[in-house]
Amino acid sequence: MANESKSVTKKKWTSQEKNECIWGWAFILPTMIGLIILNIWPIFDTIIQSFFKTGDFGKGNIFIGLQNYKTILGDPEIWQALLNTFKYAIVEVPFSIAIALVLAVLLNRKMVGRAAYRTIFFLPMVAAPAAIAMVWRWLYNSEFGLLNHILGTKTNWISNPSIAVFAVAIIGIWSIVGYNMVLFLAGLQDIPRDYYEASSIDGANGINQFFNITIPLLSPTIFFVAITRVIGGLQVFDLIFMVMDKNNPALYKTQSLVYLFYQESFVNNNKGMGSAIVVFLLIIIMIITVLQMQMQKHVYYN
Amino acid sequence: MESMEKKQKMTAAGIHILLILVSITMLVPFVWMALTAFKTITESTSVDPFVIFPSSWKVENFTTVINNMNFPVLYVNTLLLILGRVVCAVLTATMAGYAFGRLNFPGKNLMFSLVMFQMMVPGQIFIIPQYLMVSKLGVLDTIFALIFPGMVTAFGTFLLRQTYMGLPKDLEEAARLDGCNIGQTFLFIMAPLTRSGMVSLGIFTAVFAYKDLMWPLICNRNVMPLSAALAKMQGQYSNNYPQLMAASLLACIPMIVLYLIFQKQFIEGIATSGGKL
């Protein structure tokens, strides 16, 4: 079809082509109008707004050029938030991937209770993050929490600035591990069974097979999951917003970039500054995604 | 030979023990949520002795939060949010997915690159302009405002395009020879074949509409869905954990019940559509 339409561009349209053009545009029109209004225009609008300062009481916009970006680059709170976001992602992403990978490999066989395990591991995916955050906050409670009771400790999991961000990342791992596992299980279906049979005849054990067969052949899925999880982890908001109180002493060392974006835009009502923060985040995500893609080329397209 | 069989059995048992331990870790927060929801404040904050099970299964926490937070309204708001987004998203994405997957028309590639572009940027970049639009239209704090950002879906369009591209090539030709126009071909022949793709997109949209927190927090102060209401409640009853847990449980149960009934569709809908990106 594609070649045909290229060769006849100079000629008059056949009625079939005319039809496809009319129906095609009619079918994409609702989506395209929606996307342009809801998404494409807002991208440019956000970038434009990042050059403005929102006046008091949200009135009037004052053009201030790159001032918001200068403020961001000179603001230790933003750099701390960026560091917090990285810390969160550096814990959440590798652990949620590694645990999910092991679980997927263990479940990738005929066994009793396979469906039940899968259902249980996936359960946090269908729970409201607000509810998940609340129950974990309760589990982490330093005086009455179940966790300190079991461990026999008195740890301030979420109010000690040096560990709070990791405590939140643990909730993130718990929430996402089942989702990653299901993606890996789907990827594992594509690895031929004979590879494993052949290698066990050669005397390889399960652990050898995991590193020599599973990991290399699953690497496209692993990279896909890693990229989407890094992007997701860098956008963490719900958990931090729900777990960290405004007067929590660890908030400064836990708040993420998206949390600051929310605060600036909708609590402090400085939408210009909020826009600049989100553009800053966009640039960081783009850089990291490009770096990951480069790594991916090196590792498995050989 | 016998020792090898024994070794295999030991390995299988070890694997089960590990999987059971992980299952417990996944379930404990939910169980603790439920146990706390039935306790009094005194029981929940008792340290010596530490109370695991409530002395009696009191339902007062549930009745209190149902009345104070007006749960019936929260359920209806959440349901309308979900239905609105699912209907709009599935309808528009099915049509656009068909056009992008099966038809040829000028401008198609440019339009599709806009769809792909939308999927590559972080979602927060849309929020301020979307909020300003809703605010200018004077519809803040309505069900429409909740549905608004999810009325079309770039991801869903991409997902259904993939589904349509996977269908056999000569279907349309046969329909055309039978005298169907493109609209009829789509409606009666092609769309019904992508039912599983539509179901996946529907479940995916429903779960993420239900989980969405930031958007309802921003644009709705009174007409709230469950997620935003929980956040608001935490600010008000910060230390009444039995009531907070009762509300959390009430908010989670409908989705969990649906999940347990339609597990296969849920897992396929959420994870495999995520995996096709």
Q: What is the pLDDT of residue B1?
A: 57
Taking CB atoms and an 8 Å limit, are B231 and A241 in contact across chains? yes
Q: How far is A223 from chain B (nearest CA, A)?
A: 11
Burial per residue of B4-24, b for 16 or more beta-carbon CB atoms within 10 angstroms, e otherwise: eeeeeeeeeeebeeebeebbe
pLDDT of A302 strictly over 60:
no
Shortest CA gap B39–chain A (Å): 13
A10 and A154 in a single domain? The answer is no
Cβ-Cβ contacts under 8 Å for A155 (sequence gap 6 or more): A142, A147, A148, A163
Mean pLDDT confidence for A260-274: 93
- pLDDT value of position B146: 97
Identify whether residues A14 and A162 lie together within a single domain.
Answer: no
CA–CA dist A4, A59 (Å, integer): 56
Q: Give the residues across from A52 on adjacent strands.
A: A63
Return phi, psi of residue B50, to 5°: -75, 125
| Residues B136-174: tens digit of each pLDDT | 999 999 999 999 999 999 999 999 999 999 998 888 888
**For residue A1, what pLDDT is reported?**
42
Residue of B nearest to A140 (CA): B29
Tokens of residue B219, six digits:
């644009």
CATH 1.10.3720.10 residue ranges of chain B are 69-275
pLDDT, position A56: 62
> Nearest by CB to A118, which of B32, B130, B267?
B267
The answer to whether B227 contacts A38, with C-beta atoms less than 8 Å apart, is no
Using the beta-carbon criterion (under 8 Å), do A38 and B152 form an inter-chain contact?
yes
Cβ pair B92:A30 closer than 8 A:
yes
pLDDT for A221-246, tens place per residue? 899 899 999 999 999 999 999 999 98
Q: Which CATH number fits domain B69-275: 1.10.3720.10, 3.30.365.10, 3.90.79.10, 3.40.50.620?
A: 1.10.3720.10
pLDDT of residue A62: 83
The more confident residue out of B175 and B275 is B175
Question: A28 — contact with chain B (CB < 8 Å)?
Answer: yes
B38: phi then psi, degrees, rounded to nearest 5: -95, 0
Q: Tell me, yes or no, if A285 comes closer than 8 A to chain B by beta carbon.
A: yes
CB-based contact (8 Å) between A111 and chain B?
Answer: yes
Compute the mean pLDDT over every residue in chain B, rounded to the nearest whole number.
92
Chain A, nearest residue to B114 by Cα: A40
The 10s digit of each residue's pLDDT in A145-179 is 999 999 999 999 999 999 999 999 999 999 999 99
Position A83, amino acid: L
Q: Does A270 touch chain B (CB under 8 A)?
A: no
Task: Return the top range by mean pLDDT from A6-10, A87-91, B219-223.
Answer: A87-91
Q: Which of A24, A49, A106 minimises the CB distance to B128? A: A49
B27: Cα separation from own chain's centroid = 20
CA-to-CA distance for A284 and A294, rounded, in angstroms? 16
The first and second tokens of residue A1, run together, are 């079809």
Residue in B32, B99, B152 closest to A139 by CB? B32
Confidence of residue B61 (pLDDT cuts 50, 70, 90): very high
What ipTM was predicted for this assembly? 0.93
Cα–Cα dist A253/B197, whole Å = 43
Q: Render pLDDT for B122-138 as a digit per residue (tens, 0 to 9).
A: 999 999 999 999 999 99
pLDDT digits (tens, 9 = 90+) for B30-54: 999 999 999 999 899 888 788 889 9
- Residue in A120, A128, A275 nearest the CB of B128: A275
Q: How far is B241 from B246, CA to CA, in rounded Å?
A: 8
Share of chain A above pLDDT 70, in %: 92
Does residue A276 or residue A11 have the better pLDDT?
Answer: A276
Residue pairs spanning A and B at CB distance below 8 A: 273
Rounded to the nearest 5°, which phi and psi values hold at A62?
-110, 125
- A4, A33, A35, A46: best to mutate for the B interface, most B CBs within 10 A: A35
Q: Is residue A12 domain-shared with residue A154, that is, in the same domain?
A: no
* Closest residue in chain B to residue A177, using alpha carbons only: B26
pLDDT at B48: 79
Instruction: Tell me: do A156 and A195 sit in the same domain.
Output: yes
Instruction: Answer yes or no: do A31 and B218 touch at CB < 8 A.
Output: no
Contact B123/B154 with Cβ under 8 angstroms?
no
Residues A41-78 have pLDDT tens digits of: 999 999 999 998 876 655 567 888 899 999 999 999 99
| Residue A76, min C-alpha distance to chain B (Å) | 22
**Position B276 pLDDT exceeds 90:** no
> Does A119 lie at the interface with B, CB-CB under 8 angstroms?
yes
Count CB atoms within 10 A of the CB of residue A99. 19
Nearest CA in chain A to B149: A38
User: What average pLDDT is seen over chain A?
Assistant: 90
CATH code, A142? 1.10.3720.10
Q: Are residues A35 and A131 in the same domain?
A: no
- In sequence order, what DSSP letters do the residues of B26-43 get, joined into one string? HHHHHHHHHHHHTS-HHH
Tell me, yes or no, whether A139 lies in a domain: yes
Distance (Å) from the C-alpha of residue B218 to the closest C-alpha of chain A? 7
With beta carbons under 8 A apart, name residues in chain B contacting A274: 128
Average of per-residue pLDDT across A74-92: 96
Residues in A touching B117 (Cβ below 8 Å): 40
Alpha-carbon gap, residue A137 to A168, rounded angstroms = 9
Instruction: Assess A23–B contact: CB distance below 8 Å, yes or no.
Output: yes
The string of DSSP letters for A103-160 reads HHHHHSS--TTHHHHHHHHHGGGGS-HHHHHHHHHHHH-TTT-HHHHHHT----TTTS
* Angstroms from B267 CA to nearest CA on chain A: 8
Q: Which of A38, A125, A136 is facing B151, going by the closest CB pair?
A: A38
CA distance A30 to chain B (A): 6
Stretch 51-90 of chain A: residues touching chain B, C-beta under 8 Å: none
> Is A205 a domain residue?
yes
Please determine, for residue A300, whether its predicted confidence score (pLDDT) is greater than 60.
Answer: no
User: What pLDDT score was predicted for residue A193?
Assistant: 84
Query: Is residue B224 within 8 Å of residue B72, measured between CB atoms?
Result: no
Interchain CB distance below 8 Å, A178 and B26:
yes
Integer Cα distance of A159 and A248 in angstroms: 6
User: What is the structure's pLDDT at B268?
Assistant: 84
Query: With contact defined as beta carbons under 8 Å apart, do B245 and A138 qualify?
Result: yes
Q: Verify that A116 and A15 share a domain, yes or no.
A: no
Please give the C-alpha separations between residue A169 and each of A92, A149, A254, in angstroms, as whole numbers: 5, 21, 10
| Nearest residue of B to residue A226, measured between CA atoms | B275
Residue environment code for B203-231, b if the CB has 16+ CB neighbours within 10 A, otherwise e: bbbbbebbbbbbbbbbbbeebbbbbbbbb
B277 has a pLDDT exceeding 70: no
- Distance, in angstroms, between A225 CA and closest chain B CA? 8
pLDDT at res. A98: 97
Of the candidates A129, A149, A271, the beta carbon closest to that of B50 is on A149
Residues from chain A that touch B131, judged by Cβ atoms under 8 A, are: 266
Contact indicator for A243, A133 with CB cutoff of 8 Å: yes
Instruction: Judge whether A20 lies within some domain.
Output: yes
Chain B residues touching A175 at Cβ < 8 A: none
The predicted pLDDT at position A87 comes to: 97
Q: What local confidence, expressed as pLDDT, does residue A11 receive?
A: 58
- A217: containing domain: 68-300
A-chain CB neighbours of B238 within 8 Å are: 245
- Check if the beta carbon of residue B162 is closer than 8 Å to that of residue B214: no
A45, B129: Cβ pair inside 8 Å?
yes
Q: Is residue A63 part of a domain?
A: no
Looking at residue A2, its pLDDT comes to 46
**B64: enclosing H helix or E strand:** helix B60-68
Domain count, chain A: 2
Beta bridge partners of A63: A52
Q: How confident is the model at residue A301 (pLDDT cuts 50, 70, 90)?
A: very low
Question: Is residue A59 assigned to a domain?
Answer: no
Q: Residue A100 and residue A111: Cα distance in Å, rounded?
A: 18
Per-residue confidence (pLDDT) for residue A296, from 0 to 100: 77
Question: β-strands A61-63, A52-54: how paired?
Answer: antiparallel
Asked whether residue A87 is domain-assigned, the answer is: yes
For residue B91, list chain A residues with Cβ-Cβ distance below 8 A. 30
